[in-house]
Structure 1
Amino acid sequence: MTEKPMRLFLVAGEKSGDLLGAKLMQALRRLAPDAQIEGVGGEAMIREGLRSLFPLEDIAVMGFTSVIAHLPRLLKRIDETARAVVNSKPDALVIIDSPDFTHRVARKVRARAPSIPIVDYVSPSVWAWRPGRAPAMRAYVDRVLALFPFEPAAHEKLGGPPCVFVGHPLVEHLDELRPDAEELRERESDPAVFLLMPGSRRSEIERLMPVFGQVLHRVAQHGRRMEVILPAVSHLEDAIREELRSWPYKPEVVLGDRAKLAAFRRARAALVASGTATLELALAGVPMVVAYKVSRIEELAKHFIDVPSIVLANLVLGENVVPEFIQRDCNEVALANALAPLFTHGAQRDRQVDAFRDIDRTLSPPGDEPPSMAAARNVLEVAGALLTR
């Protein structure tokens, strides 16, 4: 009798999770070529063969107020996803980032089908705020796969589920992120390539695009020769272009990872929303200024955050080398003044460039195994397909 193929159900909730999910699918197929994979994902996972239950845009929201505004649709999709998992009877459910959505799915699945193992790929920031989430996760998560080396100790201290550092998948893209000799010369020559990255969520675009436009106008008025590039995600292209109609100085909008990475390799400096993009830029060696705005309700809640920085690159480095401007501090004067020294060699630019040189080592798991392969091996271990090494 032939052995039943492995069945895995993957659930991503936004673009960053979609990219992680796609790399995970590639690695899973190397280790378990016959595995059947279904679930919820976006463009990247669909390119790997996933038939998503519904479009990722239906659930790609972030923050308390955004979740409240879209709550009816989210609740419908949460229940639909949980029912699909239970009906599928997978050997493991893998929830990927986006805890506002994926953890609700996991709790429903655990209640309805307790025997399905659940892996959480990307730990919530329990080390930063709402630490009570860590022990609560023990009820519905069997293993956490951490992207950052400090997270397993945080979960152990807080009483969370078993947590394993598998490394950050971005280190698998170093060749695409880091410039070759010709691109380095371009980076140092004029006109300087300046990146604007206002985020990959609609709420970020709405809050940050106006001030980014003001900053660009102010920087351009100083006569600096620039080639300004704005990498965008496809589902927000229309919203971005609508906002750009009022900008006196318009950037070039580029779509897709290839165009984005090509811009990273040539960029002299960047103005970027807080998020994974700060790690990408750090790995590419691009000095940056980080901006972020949240709703008033979220601002009040975030008074309870206990971290020295909101910038992931700073947290990984263990020092605040990247300047950050949040809420009222996120204004055109402050941002433009912080950006100015990054276009020329000097103490502020050099400090970031020097700090970024070895960040890939900090983000890599022990040994030579790529992060996505380490993650896939853990998923299959939890699913019972591999013996724990």
Structure 2
Amino acid sequence: MSEPTKIMLIAAEASGDALGAGLAKSLKERVGTDLTLVGVGGPRMAAEGIKSPFDIAELSILGWIDGIKAYGRVKKRIDETVAFVLRERPQAIVLIDSWGFTIRVAKAVRKVAPEITLIKYVGPQVWASRPKRAKVLTSAVDHLLALYTIDAPWFESEGLPTTVVGSSALHIDMSGADGDAFRAKRGIAADAPLLLVLPGSRPSEIERMTSVYEETVKRVKSQIPGLQVAVIAAGTVADDVAGRVAAWPFRAHLVQEDEKYAAMKAANLALATSGTVSSEIGMAGTPMVIAYRIDNLSYALMKRLVTAKYITMLNIAADREVAPEFIQHDATPENLTKAVVERLANPDLAGAQAKAQLEALEALGGGGPHPSDIAADAVLKVLADRKV
């Protein structure tokens, strides 16, 4: 009789929680009752039966300065995670995204339990900055599940076996997302301009970007009086977003996670904080304006390290600014208002941008098996190969 398989999934923020939930579902479909899943994660992984020993919301940190401020709290959670690993003794651990947290967990586990197979899901974007991280990751884990084909050569050249699984954002089934029904449910006329605001999924993003978006929307509404506004409240920061939006001096429809794709379909334009969500918006066929801010010292350091011309994946794929990006000091209400109004007032411009966004995303890869299924097969193969 074969030994039951125990796999631990570790995610430290909302995007990783979503990846972990998809991976958990695919693993269960393949292994069935002979599989035990444990881990650290959020509400989506919890829905797949993975109970986290602590709330991961406090680990969602952006920038070096925020990281320094939170060091004590994060160090405590790293220690708790390693202790959790030693209690559970899984055969494999999948460390999902969140470089700063997961690489420290990987190094600590490697020291105290070297027999455990370590798999990293989503590698650092070494083609954009800090290429030496490829060597660091190679020494810390046994296998990498990469999102894009451009990732693989950087890590394979350092000797790290890599499987390209693709991005879940490029495999979203939006066939059930009904933009018309979304509008009807909220009493938004079919011809009313609708701006969808996506402030982010990290507490620091909400803190820095929400007030910028509030002022931007206020200015846009003064130029487009009939404008309707909807705001997406992402999982771990939903309560924070709801509280801030409730204080806005104009009406905004609050959107929960389960309606976000319908909201993307319904919107004429999205105003979004840079992240994975930009690919989702692009797949929905909605033009967007991207903004991004971190603390000034972190930004100054980042500017010295980053070699990529853009931060939005579809812009990187197209090698041009398909969707306008406003970063740090450029992410002002004045600049954002101008870009938003231009696109809301010019459907041809917005339509051409939406088409170009889709073309750029198609170049990154789509179709074929879902990334969660490819990732699950790769995890099980790595485990099987280690047993031989």
Q: TM-score w.r.t. structure 2 length?
A: 0.91
Q: 1:90 to 1:335 in 2, by over 3 A?
A: same
SS of the equivalent of 2:26 reads: helix
- The separation in 1 between residues aligned to 2:266 and 2:159, in whole angstroms, is 42
- The separation in 1 between residues aligned to 2:179 and 2:55, in whole angstroms, is 37
Judge conservation of contact 2:212–2:333 (CA < 8 Å) in 1: yes
Judge conservation of contact 2:188–2:228 (CA < 8 Å) in 1: no
SS of the equivalent of 1:139 reads: helix
1:29 alignment partner in structure 2: 28
Q: 1:138 to 1:195 in 2, by over 3 A?
A: same
SS of the equivalent of 1:194 reads: strand
CA RMSD, Structure 1 to Structure 2 (Å): 2.6
2:210 alignment partner in structure 1: 209
- The separation in 2 between residues aligned to 1:20 and 1:287, in whole angstroms, is 25
Q: Which moved more, 1:266-275 or 1:232-241?
A: 232-241
Query: CA offset at residue 4 of structure 1?
Result: 1.1
Once the two structures are superposed, the pairs formed by residues 203-282 of structure 1 within 5 Å of their partners are: 203-244=204-245, 246-255=247-256, 257-282=257-282
Query: CA offset at residue 346 of structure 1?
Result: 4.8
Q: Which moved more, 1:374-383 or 1:66-75?
A: 66-75
Q: Deviations over 1:247-270 (max 9, x none)?
A: 322312122x22212211111101
Query: CA offset at residue 278 of structure 1?
Result: 0.5
- The separation in 1 between residues aligned to 2:293 and 2:361, in whole angstroms, is 28
Aligned: 1:100 with 2:100: yes
- Contiguous gaps of at least 5 residues in structure 2: none
Q: TM-score w.r.t. structure 1 length?
A: 0.91
1:134 alignment partner in structure 2: 134
Judge conservation of contact 1:381–1:387 (CA < 8 Å) in 2: no
Judge conservation of contact 2:294–2:328 (CA < 8 Å) in 1: yes
SS of the equivalent of 1:164 reads: strand
SS of the equivalent of 2:224 reads: coil
Query: CA offset at residue 124 of structure 1?
Result: 1.2
The residue identity in structure 1 corresponding to 2:172 is H
Q: 1:119 to 1:177 in 2, by over 3 A?
A: farther
The residue identity in structure 2 corresponding to 1:302 is M
2:293 alignment partner in structure 1: 293
Q: 1:233 to 1:353 in 2, by over 3 A?
A: closer
Aligned: 1:7 with 2:14: no
Query: CA offset at residue 359 of structure 1?
Result: 5.0
Query: CA offset at residue 129 of structure 1?
Result: 1.3
Q: 1:177 to 1:60 in 2, by over 3 A?
A: farther
Q: 1:170 to 1:176 in 2, by over 3 A?
A: farther
Q: 1:353 to 1:297 in 2, by over 3 A?
A: same
Once the two structures are superposed, the pairs formed by residues 350-365 of structure 1 within 5 Å of their partners are: 350-358=351-359, 361-364=362-365
- The separation in 1 between residues aligned to 2:42 and 2:18, in whole angstroms, is 8
Q: Deviations over 1:37-68 (max 9, x none)?
A: 10101000000011112112232222212222
Q: Deviations over 1:94-127 (max 9, x none)?
A: 0001111111101101111112111100111211
Q: Deviations over 1:80-106 (max 9, x none)?
A: 111222332222110001111111101
- The separation in 2 between residues aligned to 1:262 and 1:347, in whole angstroms, is 22
- The separation in 2 between residues aligned to 1:184 and 1:57, in whole angstroms, is 31
The residue identity in structure 2 corresponding to 1:205 is I
2:334 alignment partner in structure 1: 333
- The separation in 2 between residues aligned to 1:208 and 1:139, in whole angstroms, is 36
Moved over 6 A (4+): 180-188, 385-388
Q: 1:328 to 1:289 in 2, by over 3 A?
A: same
Judge conservation of contact 2:198–2:272 (CA < 8 Å) in 1: yes
Judge conservation of contact 1:290–1:322 (CA < 8 Å) in 2: yes
SS of the equivalent of 1:272 reads: strand
Aligned: 1:17 with 2:16: yes
- The separation in 1 between residues aligned to 2:313 and 2:330, in whole angstroms, is 19
Q: Which moved more, 1:97-106 or 1:188-197?
A: 188-197
The residue identity in structure 1 corresponding to 2:293 is K
Query: CA offset at residue 338 of structure 1?
Result: 0.7
Query: CA offset at residue 173 of structure 1?
Result: 1.9
Q: 1:183 to 1:313 in 2, by over 3 A?
A: farther
Q: 1:188 to 1:360 in 2, by over 3 A?
A: farther
Q: 1:80 to 1:66 in 2, by over 3 A?
A: same
The residue identity in structure 1 corresponding to 2:281 is L
1:147 alignment partner in structure 2: 147
- Percent identity reads 33
- The separation in 2 between residues aligned to 1:134 and 1:221, in whole angstroms, is 49
Judge conservation of contact 1:143–1:161 (CA < 8 Å) in 2: yes
